Amino acid sequence: FIKQVIIEGFKSYKDQVTIEPFSAAINTVVGANGSGKSNFFSAIRFVLGDLYSTTHIEDRQSLLHEGAGHAVTSAYVEIIFDNSDGRLPVDGDEVRLRRSVGLKKDEYHLDQKHITKTEVVNLLESAGFSRSNPYYIVQQGKIALMATMRDHERLELIKEVAGTRVYEERREESLRSLQETATKKEEIQQVLEYFEDKVKELASDRDELARYQELDRKWRSIEYALYDQQLQEANGRLEAIDSAREEAGAKSSRAHERACQVHLDRRRAEDDVAQAEERVAGLGREVEEAQSARSTAIRAHAELASEVAEVQGGLADKQTDREVDAEDLKGVVQQVADAEMKLAEARIAVEEGQAREKRLQGEADAAERRLQALNQKRDQGSHFSSKRERDTWVAGEVKDMRATLRQKGESLRKVEAQIQELGSSLVEQNTALGEHQGLLDEQEQELVAEMEQLALIKKEHSELCDQRKDLWRTGADFEEKLAKAQEALQRSERGLESHGSRDALRGMRSVRRLVEEHGIQGCFGPVLELFECAPALSTALDTAAGNALFHVVVDTDATATRIVQLLNRTKGGRVTFVPLNRVPPASVQYPTQHGNDVVPLVKMLKCDARFEPALQQVFGRTLLCRTLDLAARVAEETRLDCVTMQGDLVTHRGTLSGGFYELKGSKVENGRAVREGQARLRELRQQQREQKERSDVIEHTIAQKLGDIQHKDAQVSKLQKGVNGIRGELGDLRLKGAAAKQSLQALESAAEKIREGMAALEVEIAALEAQLGTPLTNSLSQAEQDELHAMHLEAQRSKEALVAAQTEHMKMLTSQKELETLLSANLLKQKEEIEGRLAAVGTAQFDAAELQRKQAELESAQRQVDLSLEQKVRLEQEAEEASKALKALHARVEDLKGQEEAAQADLQEEARATDRLGSERQLLLQRRQDLEGKIRGLGSLPSDAFNMYRAWSKKQLLKAQDKLRGQLKDFSHLNKKALDQYAGFAEQRDEFRRRFERQEAEEAKIEELVWALDVQKDQAIERTFRGVAKEFEQVFRQLTGGGKGQLVMVRAPRKNKDEENVPPGGEAGGAGRATRSKKVGGEPLKKKPRTALKLDEYTGVSCKVSFGNETTQNMKQLSGGQKTVVALAIIFAIQRCDPAPFYLFDEIDAALDPQYRTAIARMLEAQAADEKSPTQFVQTTFHPELVLCASHVYGVSHRNRISRVDRILREDALKFIEEDKTHQKA
């Protein structure tokens, strides 16, 4: 969908207008008449190519802004499409399409790249914009046009939507071809009649000409026999020479192959010597490194042995301390348990004594109160004068006691609240104590785990350090190998430079440098580096290609142009490039009659398929021949260059070059050495990079391990501090708990005393209240006196027992305090100190793990010492064996040098012998060529001419020749070409007859094609009509709220039966459908009659609708608004049949009633929100219905003849529409 539109200089939009992003749903544009709404739509159609052909300068000028100020000379409109769904076949979620126009230009750009209008049209069609269906844009006037369409115009519309334009264009093209075919037939007919006349004229001279031809055949047969005898003699000698040359060539080939093989063996032996020298030097260094490593390993072993001894000693001391503390801890724990048991017993005894003391105290208090009551009763008479006075005093006492009782009750509630609060605090302290204890256990376990992980990480760090040392040694080896490989490559390049073109090599090096510096893609290197071949072909390839081996292959001429510009700028030399896009395809016909003796040189090469055109251009016209004679013969026959294995070259022009060619000067061999050196260098550099990557990984891992060690050390320290802190908090919590318990006991004792006092007060109050209302007396009854006496005795005994219980209770309390002091001040502190020492010393598990790690390192160091000794001994043995092998290789190189010199001498001798035979053979070949030319000059001979005179002698042949010469003089007046002319004219007559028949067949095929196109067109129209008719019914029903609409094909008047299947125009007018016949030298050619197409019977499309009532009306019976509804229904039906990604509507609701505008708004909303195929709408309107359904609303304003588009609020748009209506009414 359209995401954004940018306009500048187009019509009324002078300044650049960047419209805020459109919604993917409905976008409504409002604005006053003349403000630029139509120009805004025109701008979009301008980019889409739907409007404005700017062929003439006047057309382009009309698109530019005209107004005050500076003149506008160019304009552009750019549409930004959202391509997240990939509808446009362009990479990217956002596609920018711009069309720029000026007085002298009209061009398109796609994502800032220039494209043609045809490419734009194809791009839009691939996204769903059909040229045959332009109804995704509905401008002003199109609806009115459709509302007034007649039936035949409506049918033409269906045809246009069906895309019949394509079929019509192809049909017209086919008819033009048919006309051309008919014209050619007439021309062929005329020529054919001419040849018929000539054949009849020449038939009369055939008899006399036959006698002459008989004598002429005998004459030529005798001449053939004479020439054949001479030719057989030359061929016999040539066969002998060819046999000798073939044998010499075979010897020369074997000598050349042997020389090449010896040369390669020597090169390989020298490479082996270099590798062996490198191996000996490397082994020497490895021996020194092994000795150094052994010394290092011994020192490391000694250091680790010392560390192990130290760890073992420290572990023994720690173990001793741990055992002593553990034993002490057992004793203290036992003492704590005994003390706690005694303390529990003492607490039980104290509680029992306290209860007994309480009970005795209660009995004593009760006896005392009874005594006091009896005494008071006895003394009433002496203290009070009357009963009333006594009761008043008793009431006052009771009142005071009750006040005291209330005070004690208040004190009791406060104490109980303190007890409850202290109890809750004690519970919380116990909970916190349990949590701290659990946390302490977890922290201690975590501390042990962290210490074990720390030990493991230290071990891994040590192993990684060992691996890093090995990689350092490997890196040093790679540096040395790289230096030697670089040196060997430079030697090979110097060898190639000494035997090649210095300028070409300089240019090649410049090209490599420039390609690497500028990152140029598509440069593949010189031809020399792009193929592989057998070593024996090196000389032949050097000779055949020459300096073309240094031509640089690139992908396109643009790449070559860029490199040439850089070469000129940097003065980097001259280079010949081979652009693969400009290399013509191979069209060489290679001979096959010689078998394996002659093969295309290019087929002996192996290369990437991409480079085959370049190799075909360099080697494609060169053949590899077994011998030089064969090369000369094949070069003459095929007009191709031929080369032998020894490097002798015969060009297609006839020149021959050859002679001795030294293998060490071969460009191909030196190039192969350079490639191998470069490959070796690349391999070593790759290995070095991999080794560097491994080293970097090891370094990174070591750094990580060091960080892990530091992190773990910090964690261990943190955990140790945490454990110590938790232990301290546990001690504090225990002390706070003990203090809280003591406070709780004190509060409970105080509460109990308050309760006892309150109970005594209540008893006293009850006794006093019992005296109220009793008579006032001065004496006790006998029973009361007895009770008073008994109470004296009971009170005395109770006091004595209470004193004894209190004394015992104090002893028990003293014992309890002593036990508590022993526990808190001595035993528990001693236990905590011992446990702290055990924790500070560390766990036995960790110490054992540390010792085990050190012992493992010691064992590893011992193994390293043993391995270093074994490695040193092994390397010394390998170095000795490598030295012996190096001596043997030096001897082999010297032997191969001698063999190579001998092979080169043999090769030169064979070359001289071959040259002598070649000179003699060349003379014989010239003689044979002359004789063969004379034989060919005899023309065609009778079949018996080759054997008739074979047995005759030369004398007999000359005598018969003289006799025939006299007989032939009698036919000197005869036209000797009459028979040939007759045969030629007859052959041409037959050829033209065949051509005439081919034209007839072609004409029939074209007629078949025209018929097929008509059928396809009618099928497309019928298919489109069905789809539009179906969608029209649904759209019309939606727009009218239940109305019915139908599109109906209007049938033409029926014809009679004889003319029913005849197309309009009869035979002349229905090209491709009429029956035709033509007689050409035989039977007439007949064609089947065609059946008239079904859609020819229809002349239009009528529209029948019903707006919610039962009456069905046609278009003539409808009002203007109803016609507009029908036209819109047809447009929407067409759009649904051929949907586009977005639609542009320019005031489509102008002539509609509000109910239909509302229906259209609902339809647009439904289509925009469709899940399967959501559609974007951009529309202009002067009515509120299409504004209310819009996702985004835009306003077009116009000032000083300059328009601009801004996004506005829906409320502002509605307000504008209302003001516009008011203005129009006014």
Assess whether pLDDT exceeds 80 at residue 470: no
More confident call, 1145 vs 253: 1145
Neighbours of 1051 (CB within 10 A): 10
How confident is the model over 777-820, as pLDDT tens digits?
666 667 767 777 777 787 778 777 777 877 787 887 777 777 77
Per-residue model confidence (pLDDT) at position 661: 58
**Selection from 45, 37, 48, 49 nearest residue 13 by Cα:** 37
pLDDT-based confidence at residue 1080 (cuts at 50, 70, 90): very low
Alpha carbons 427 and 740: distance in angstroms, whole number: 10
Looking at per-residue pLDDT, the higher value among 1050 and 162 belongs to 1050
* Tens-place pLDDT, residues 693-735: 888 888 888 888 888 888 888 888 888 788 778 877 877 777 7
CA distances from 535 to 28, 267, 903 (A): 79, 12, 16
Residue environment code for 1167-1187, b if the CB has 16+ CB neighbours within 10 A, otherwise e = bbeeeeeebbbbbbbbbbbbb
Task: Give the long-range contacts of residues 726-731, CB within 8 A, separation 24 or more.
Answer: 726/436, 726/439, 726/440, 726/443, 727/440, 727/832, 727/835, 727/836, 727/839, 729/436, 730/433, 730/436, 730/437, 730/440, 731/832
Share of the chain above pLDDT 90, in %: 2
Please determine, for residue 324, whether its predicted confidence score (pLDDT) is greater than 50.
yes
Read off the pLDDT band of 501 (50, 70, 90).
low
DSSP 719-754: HHHHHHHHHHHHHHHHHHHHHHHHHHHHHHHHHHHH
Task: List, in order, residues 6 or more apart from 627 with CB less than 8 Å away.
Answer: 245, 246, 249, 597, 644
Q: Which one, of 254, 31, 212, 210, lies nearest residue 971 by Cα?
A: 212
User: Residue 941: which pLDDT band, with cuts at 50, 70 and 90?
Assistant: low
Chain position carrying tokens 């203007």: 1120
Q: Is the pLDDT of residue 522 over 70?
A: yes
Q: Tens digits of per-residue pLDDT, 548-576? A: 888 899 999 889 998 888 888 888 788 88
For the whole model, what pTM was predicted?
Answer: 0.36
Tell me what pLDDT residue 1063 has.
35
b/e 893-930 (16+ beta carbons within 10 angstroms → b): beebeebbeebbebbeebbebbeebbeebeebbebbee
| pLDDT of res. 1070 | 37
Least confident span in 87-101, 508-522, 667-681, 928-942:
928-942
pLDDT of amino acid 553: 92
Q: What is the CA radius of gyration of the chain?
A: 61
d(CA 224, CA 239): 21
The helix or strand, by DSSP H or E, that contains position 598, with its residue range, turns out to be strand 598-600
pLDDT at 217: 73
**CA 478 vs CA 281, 388, 512, 687, 882: distances in Å:** 14, 130, 25, 8, 20
Backbone angles phi, psi at 1045, to 5 degrees: -140, 145
The mean pLDDT value for 1051-1080 works out to 42
Identify the pLDDT of residue 983: 67
Ranked by mean pLDDT, the top range of 136-145, 736-745, 909-918 is: 736-745
Lookup: tokens for 530: 């792009």
Across the range 1147-1156, mean pLDDT stands at 80
Q: How confident is the model at residue 945 (pLDDT cuts 50, 70, 90)?
A: low
- Measured CA to CA, the distance from residue 752 to residue 769 in angstroms comes to 26
Say whether pLDDT at 1034 is over 70. yes
Q: Which two tokens stand for residue 1102?
A: 């009528």
Asked whether residue 482 carries a pLDDT value surpassing 50, the answer given is yes
Report whether 28 contacts 1145 (CB < 8 A).
no
Q: Output the pLDDT for position 990.
A: 77
User: Cβ(581)–Cβ(494) under 8 Å?
Assistant: no
Closest CA to 43 of 1204, 1213, 1212, 1222: 1204
Q: Residues 586-607: what's their mean pLDDT?
A: 85
Helix axes 1120-1137 and 1154-1168, enclosed angle (nearest 10): 10
H or E element at residue 867: helix 844-937
Q: For 1076-1153, where are the alpha helices, taking DSSP H only?
A: 1120-1137
> What's residue 626's pLDDT?
81
- Asked if residue 904 has pLDDT above 60, the reply is yes
C-alpha 71: how far from its chain's center? Answer: 49
Most confident region among 770-774, 865-869, 1206-1210 by mean pLDDT: 1206-1210
> How does the average pLDDT of the chain come out, rounded?
77
- The pLDDT score that the predictor gives to residue 444 is 75
What pLDDT shows up at residue 1054?
A: 57
More confident residue, 94 or 871: 94
Kindly tell me the burial class for residue 1104, based on how many C-beta atoms sit within 10 Å of its own C-beta (0-12, 13-18, 19 or more).
middle
Q: Is 70 exceeded by the pLDDT of residue 210?
A: no
Answer whether residue 1059 shows pLDDT above 50.
Answer: no
Rounded CA gap, 757 and 407, in Å? 11
Residue appearing with tokens 């009433």 = 380
Q: Check pLDDT > 90 for residue 204.
A: no
pLDDT at 1079 (0 to 100): 41
78 pLDDT tier (thresholds 50, 70, 90): very high
Angstrom distance (rounded) from CA 649 to CA 1032: 82
Distance CA 1188, CA 1154 (A): 13
Quick one: pLDDT at residue 317?
65
Whether pLDDT at 300 is above 80: no
- Alpha carbon dihedral 186, 189, 195, 197, in 10-degree steps, equals -110
Return the pLDDT at 1216: 87
Strands (E), 1157-1211: 1176-1180, 1192-1199, 1202-1208
d(CA 556, CA 299): 65
What is the predicted pLDDT for the residue at 6? Answer: 92
DSSP letters along 145-191, please?
Answer: HHHT--HHHHHHHHHHHHTHHHHHHHHHHHHHHHHHHHHHHHHHHHH
Would you state the pLDDT for residue 207?
A: 60
Q: Cα–Cα distance between 775 and 380 in angstroms, integer?
A: 10
**Where residue 1089 falls among pLDDT bands split at 50, 70, 90?**
very low
Q: How confident is the model at residue 642 (pLDDT cuts 50, 70, 90)?
A: very high
Please report which confidence band the pLDDT of residue 943 belongs to, taking 50, 70 and 90 as the band edges: low
pLDDT of residue 1061: 37
pLDDT tens digits, one per residue of 984-1008:
777 777 787 787 788 788 878 878 8
